[in-house]
């Protein structure tokens, strides 16, 4: 099952602030990881199963999984 990826306003601002080449890589990797298996790819739960964190393309992504609507919402992106 494919999951739709959406970004909360702060996460979207951090994503847009990435240099274009890095953002392209980030977008590709987030679709191929969280978009296909938001509970896998080395992600870890943050206190509850659906609140998670992962490192993608050099950025820490904190996100929520909504299984009912097959959606992942990135709430925080921290470039490292």
Whether pTM exceeds 0.95: no
Which residue ranges form the domains of the chain, and what is each CATH number? 4-79 (3.30.2310.20)
pLDDT tier at 24 (50, 70, 90 boundaries)? Answer: very high
pLDDT of residue 1: 81
SS3 labels along 14-50: HHHCCCHHHHHHHHHHHHHHCCCCCCCCCCEEEEECC
Q: Is 80 helix (H, G, I), strand (E, B) or coil?
A: coil
Q: 1-18, pLDDT tens digit by residue?
A: 899 999 999 999 999 999
As a whole number of angstroms, the distance between CA 65 and CA 80 comes to 23
Q: Is 62 helix (H, G, I), strand (E, B) or coil?
A: strand
pLDDT of residue 21: 97
Angle between helices 9-16 and 20-33 (to 10 degrees): 130
pLDDT tier at 63 (50, 70, 90 boundaries)? Answer: very high
């Amino acid at each position: 099952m494919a999951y739709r990826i959406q970004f909360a306003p702060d996460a979207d601002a951090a994503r847009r602030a990435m240099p274009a080449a890095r953002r392209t890589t980030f977008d590709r990797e987030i679709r191929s990881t969280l978009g296909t298996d938001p509970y896998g790819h080395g992600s870890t739960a943050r206190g509850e199963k659906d609140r998670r964190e992962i490192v993608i393309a050099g950025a820490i992504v904190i996100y929520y999984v909504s299984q009912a609507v097959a959606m992942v919402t990135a709430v925080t992106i921290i470039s490292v």
